[in-house]
Amino acid sequence: MKSINPATNQCIKEHRGHTREEVSRILEQVHGDWLLWKETSFKERARFMRTAADILLRERDECASIITSEMGKLKKEARAEVEKCALVCNYFADSAETLLQDEIVTTDYSKSLVTFAPMGVILAVMPWNFPFWQAFRFIAPALMAGNGAVLKHASNVFGAALKIEEIIQRAGFPKNLFRSLIIPSDQVERVIENPVIQAVTLTGSEGAGRQVAGTAGKMLKKSVLELGGSDPFLVMEDADLDQSARVSLTARTMNAGQVCISAKRFIVHEKVAKTFEAKQKELFESLVVGDPSEDATQMAPMARPDLVDELHAQVEKSIELGARLVTGGHRLDRPGNYYAPTILADVKKGMPVYDEETFGPVAAIIQVKDEEEAVFTANDTPFGLGASVWTEDAARGERIARRIDSGMVFVNSMTVSNPSLPFGGTKSSGYGRECSQYGIKEFVNIKTICIQ
């Protein structure tokens, strides 16, 4: 299995996969260390987790270089990703004991309480677009709750997976409490079926989610899914157009547009649609596209050539069906997986950029006549991950936010993840939550104890 640099399409490194026997042995080793780990105190767990955060910050540039070389993220974005990993480690080191403290409930018994016990060894199947953050967003709450963990990372970022394993071990955790499995996707089902695994979490595509959830359901094991999104970005007639356009640039082109919670459908009131389009066009065309390892670069390559092909097919089909090309719409004539920052206007239902998730730097502008149509259009999608609403009236923004069918809605801000807030979606965007008190309680045994 190879790591390929998206900026050059050159092979960085080949990784030898684990055999079936090695996978079975690793799972038994993780289970063995978990049996001891689950008895440790929160104070001891937190000490190791804070050490992991310190290593991440100390070795930020090295970790960022792995991210940039394996999946093409801008250097500055990769550094920020590593820093956010340290943040989530420290957050759960500080808060896990409080979040999981016993809850006393008044009943007819002498004493009734709810406790939160570790489940066991959890499998995480993680994607390539945030190779460190997605992993640590799982690792920090899972280990602080007293669980063991194994990671099956995306096959193009196994270098990141092995570095994460190294950091956890160097932080002082038991050697086999967290391990990375270097296996292809077609072996995930067998791992889920292993008796050692008690639950599974996946961040990825709808197809992968169905497969993982199906196997977990067959084995009567819990699953948490964070899947795709076609997040709406609503710009009402009273919005600050300069600010909303500036944020739309980041919201759509960060990580070359390869973000599940990035804004993808720009639902704009007809009174301001032309002005917003012009401002967005100017910003998109100002982006400096280039080598992601160079500080001056503002637009990175996409992670794989097949992703460029899929995105371009969506754009071409949408134009064929009547979408108007505002800017971009083509591959860039240079080595690597580069696609021009693209805006399509006059987008309607039935076009791929309306109906499907576009995982790349393509913005779809959809005009609406009023607030009611804006809300209807925002909800007219099989996805329900995040959303963003722009209006100068905060009360109106909250009213609209409450009507949007998604797991997260931000008013006058782009959708982001935060360790202290629940992260996740509804409909085809998955189920369950990560981060916050809700995330750490996904993988615990919520146990009732009554004493008479």
Residues identified as active-site: 226, 260
Could you tell me if residue 193 is left (phi over 0), alpha (psi between -120 and 50 degrees) or otherwise beta?
alpha
Task: Look up tokens 């709808």; give the residue.
Answer: 206
Q: How many Cα atoms sit within 13 Å of 230 on the Cβ side?
A: 22
Q: How far is CA 290 from CA 304, 311, 314, 318, 349, in A?
A: 16, 19, 23, 27, 34
Distance, CA of 127 to CA of 157 (rounded, Å): 9
Q: In the numeric block, which tokens belong to residue 263?
A: 């804004």
Which one, of 390, 393, 392, lies nearest residue 378 by Cα? 390
Cβ–Cβ contacts within 10 Å for residue 215, how many? 18
Task: Give the β-pairing of 121-125 and 148-152.
Answer: parallel
DSSP code at position 331: B
Contact 355, 349 (CB under 8 A): yes
Ordered DSSP codes for 161-230:
HHHHHHHHHHTTS-TTTEEE----GGGHHHHHHSTTEEEEEEES-HHHHHHHHHHHHHTT-EEEEE----
Distance, CA of 324 to CA of 410 (rounded, Å): 28
32: three-class secondary structure by DSSP: helix
Fill in the amino acid letter for 52: A
Distance, CA of 306 to CA of 217 (rounded, Å): 31
Contact 21, 29 (CB under 8 A): no
Longest alpha-carbon distance in the chain = 75
Distance, CA of 30 to CA of 271 (rounded, Å): 59
Contact 67, 73 (CB under 8 A): yes
Fill in the amino acid letter for 107: T
